[in-house]
Amino acid sequence: MGIFGRRREADAPHPRKKPRFDGPLTLERLKEIFRDCVDFVQRPVQVGGDPAHKITLCYLASMVKMERISDYILRPLAQDEALAGVPTAAQAMERMRDGALYNLWAAERDTLDTAAADLVAGWCLLFFPGETRVLSFFVGTEEKRSISAPSNETVLKGARDAFVESVRTNTSIVRRHLKTPDLRIQEQTVGRQSLTMVDILYIEGITDPALVERVTGQLADIDIDAVLATGNIEEYIVPAVSTAFPLIQYTERSDRFCAGLAEGRVGILIDGLPLGYLAPGVLGDFLRAPQDKSSSWMLATVLTVLRYVCMLGTLLLPALYIAMVTFHQEMIPTRLALSIIAAKQDVPFRSVFEVIVLLLAFEILQEAGLRLPQSIGQTVSIIGGLVVGSAAVEAKIVSPAVLIVVAIAGIAGYTMPSQELAGALRIWRFLLALCASAAGLFGTIMAAAALVVHLAGIESFGVSYLTPFAANAGEQVEGHAVLREPLPQVKQRPAALRTRNRRNQR
């Protein structure tokens, strides 16, 4: 038995056979596949009003738009008298496929797998007597949420057309931003049961072909039942899963997504998820906000430096407080030390216990605020702040200094543009605090060194995670991770992406 309570069986049988449905493509077999499905509809149709010429129309009522079937399929079949004069079903099929029906998307299907997949995707099928092939026409509803501003990423100056759940709508948004004919969109189907469309986007002539091949290969290797959440893709395509740090960017903003494509990255759009992914992703990317390029270079540089300072603060501040108060009191100024001692006289707990408890309370309040409805979540946050803050200090459970340190560390973590990066920092904040409680400043330094070694050993699609601070394949690349140059002076794309054309402007 494994740690998860189940033994992994490498030689277990495949979840389903390939092809899923065998046998000839007939109406009887299709009815057997969709038995007990109330939305499966079959209807005999007379061609050209001639009772001698009958075909069968099949569709799923929940997946099609009835007006399209009536206007694009049934009306031409009933009104086109020339179809009634066609002597054979094969000739009638050829005529309908070549334009007798008012539909842009028409295809021939000769296997049960493709025919069943078409029905689920919103297509209708025409069965002809004596034929082993069927005609398939797209009549899907294409119902989707309207395009709106992003809800999780603040837009100060920029486009407000956020991604929606329809992958076709998302690709059209990208096309409107990047009108170049060099934009390539490849598609794969992932998920044995969900049959989710996953699109891979890149700009030919800029993006490294090896990067495209690597992303495409990792998507092709995914063999799961359903793609219904972001983790169903993220945890399979990232090259390392033994880290809490994010290795692939995600965004709701179409302008940020297109900017990543223009830099030479590979984009991923998933049907059903209102997000776009960009690969690779390095540490510096998660510390940049989308509005940095919309602000002046001086302001953007100052804000980026502030984020790096806040990253160090949220990691090290609780650990340094524990180390100095417990082991290295001589590092604290005298007046501050006397103030801390006076505040801790009536507190019965050690400093490390106070810090850990407050950090846990901070995480619990944050989780409760996220999971509850918005109105209740705000109330819980206010009540929790009063209880954990004022009441805990007045009851002499924690000292005011510890409360201030934990609050500053928590608020500093909120300055991270990426919530996944902020979550990873919170995990390491606990580890650094525990190491500080065990070995003081020495334990803090060793834990911080272990973090640096861990980050230096991570790669995101062949790119070092600490780029440009670290080397890539033994070669140091130039770049500005903290300082943002004026945009007219940024003449080349990032070297770590190994783009085919590094020049981006004159």
Adjacent-strand bridge partners of 278 = 249, 267
Total residues found in the chain within this entry: 506
Ranges 93-107, 179-193, 288-302: which has the least confidence: 93-107
Given a cut of 60, whether residue 468 has pLDDT beyond it is yes
Maximum distance among all alpha carbons in the chain?
104
Structure tokens at 443: 């334990």
For residue 138, the SS3 value is: strand
Q: Where are the beta strands (DSSP E) in 370-474?
A: 459-460, 463-464
Q: Please, which pLDDT band fits residue 221 given cuts at 50, 70 and 90?
A: confident
Given a cut of 60, whether residue 8 has pLDDT beyond it is no
What is the mean predicted confidence (pLDDT) over 400-404?
Answer: 86
For residue 200, the SS3 value is: strand
157: left (phi over 0), alpha (psi -120 to 50) or beta: beta
**What element of type H or E holds 409?**
helix 400-413
Q: Please, which pLDDT band fits residue 2 given cuts at 50, 70 and 90?
A: very low
Q: Please, which pLDDT band fits residue 431 given cuts at 50, 70 and 90?
A: very high
Place of tokens 């990047």: 178
Task: List the alpha helices (DSSP H) in 327-391.
Answer: 334-344, 351-371, 374-386
What does the domain layout of the chain look like in residue ranges?
27-138, 167-279, 293-460
Q: What is the per-residue pLDDT for 207?
A: 92
Q: What is the per-residue pLDDT for 4?
A: 41
**What element of type H or E holds 249?**
strand 249-251
Q: What is the DSSP string of 58-111?
A: EEETTTB-HHHIIIIIIHHHHH-HHHHT-SSHHHHHHHIIIIISS-S-EEEE-S
Q: What is the per-residue pLDDT for 1?
A: 40
Regarding pTM above 0.75, the answer is yes
Strand order in the sheet with 134-138: 40-46, 54-60, 123-127, 134-138, 106-109
Q: What is the per-residue pLDDT for 88?
A: 66
Adjacent-strand bridge partners of 325 = none
Structure tokens at 401: 């200094």
Q: What is the per-residue pLDDT for 156?
A: 76
- Report the amino acid identity of residue 216: T
Q: Bigger pLDDT: 78 or 308? A: 308
Q: How far apart are CA 467 and CA 453, in angstroms?
A: 14
Q: Please, which pLDDT band fits residue 173 given cuts at 50, 70 and 90?
A: very high
At 138, give phi and psi (nearest 5°).
Answer: -80, 120
Q: Bigger pLDDT: 437 or 231? A: 437
What is the mean predicted confidence (pLDDT) over 392-400?
Answer: 78
pLDDT in tens, 339-387: 888 877 777 888 888 888 888 888 888 887 777 776 666 666 667 666 6
Q: How far apart are CA 337 and CA 341, in angstroms?
A: 6
Q: What is the per-residue pLDDT for 172?
A: 92
Structure tokens at 51: 């009772």
What percent of the chain stands above pLDDT 70? 87
Q: How far apart are CA 484 and CA 480, in angstroms?
A: 7
Q: Please, which pLDDT band fits residue 21 given cuts at 50, 70 and 90?
A: confident
What's the mean pLDDT when you consider all of the chain?
A: 83
pLDDT in tens, 133-149: 888 988 888 777 888 88
Q: How far apart are CA 325 and CA 351, in angstroms?
A: 7
Q: How far apart are CA 218 and CA 215, in angstroms?
A: 5
Given a cut of 60, whether residue 5 has pLDDT beyond it is no
